[in-house]
Amino acid sequence: MCIVVLVILGGSGCGKSVLMKHLPGLMQPTQGQIWVGDCEVTALKEREMGQVRHQIGMMFQGGALFDSMTVFDNVAFPLREETDCSEKEIEERVMNALEIVKLAAHAHKFPSDISGGMRKRVALARAVVDHPACIIYDEPHAGLDPMTADTIDRLIKTLQNEHAITNIVITHEIRSVFRIADRIVFMKEGRVYWTGTSAELQATSDPFLRDFIEGNAQED
């Protein structure tokens, strides 16, 4: 099996976050089918969704951490909500996830006591803690300086290469796209407009895609 990083690109409002929320059944389509692996998500009842949700870790746009909970409790949240893990097992898994994002020393802190880049890494630890087969990241680079964005990119590649996790990354950060993407899907007005590799995107003569790439590059 080939484990990939798939990047989803497209202008604001084209439907990236909506698409992401449909995969684990957080939003329901009005028509059509959604498949995750061999499972038709659209045929499942809400109480059957657990089997799909266990396979997918989500890093939401903006992080979506609970301000009143410590870093540790934020990362433990999906295990406490969706599994019957013992507290000992939870502690082990949470500390493992925090090791991956290099935040084990900050487990006792609250989100307001750490930087924006660290909050993103906590959100990433929370996405990884239930050992998913796939993680979906919605704008993991937004608001980060280039070096911190690099750290996120390296983490994504580590999860792909060392933990065999498939990664779906929604981003506007074109630098990162060329660094991490094995495949790219470009969306426009709620539909797939183009698919290809990083090299194919770099070489494209499609004027719409070129504007997107060069527009982002000029902002750097």
The site for ligand ATP (CB under 6 A) is made up of 10, 12-18, 61
| Residue nearest Mg ion (C-beta atom) | 17
**DSSP H or E segment with residue 8:** strand 5-9
Report what 13 binds from ligand ATP, Mg ion, none; CB cut-off 5-8 Å by kind: ligand ATP
Closer to ligand ATP at the Cβ: 76 or 152? 152
Report what 62 binds from Mg ion, ligand ATP, none; CB cut-off 5-8 Å by kind: none
Closer to Mg ion at the Cβ: 17 or 70? 17
Report what 196 binds from ligand ATP, Mg ion, none; CB cut-off 5-8 Å by kind: none
Closer to Mg ion at the Cβ: 17 or 96? 17
Residue type at 105 in one-letter notation: A
Q: From the CB of residue 67, how many other CB atoms can be counted at a distance below 10 Å?
A: 8
Closer to ligand ATP at the Cβ: 16 or 93? 16
Residues near 28 by beta carbon (within 8 Å), at least 6 away in sequence: 22, 42
Report in angstroms how near the CB of residue 60 gets to ligand ATP at its nearest.
11
Return the residues of window 38-97 that contact Mg ion according to CB under 5 A: 61
The CA-based diameter of the chain, rounded to the nearest angstrom, is 55
Q: CA 110 → CA 25, 130, 174, distances in Å? A: 30, 21, 31
Task: Judge contact between 184 and 7, C-beta under 8 A.
Answer: yes
Nearest C-alpha neighbor of 168 from the set 140, 193, 188, 197: 140
Residues that bind Mg ion (CB under 5 A): 17, 61
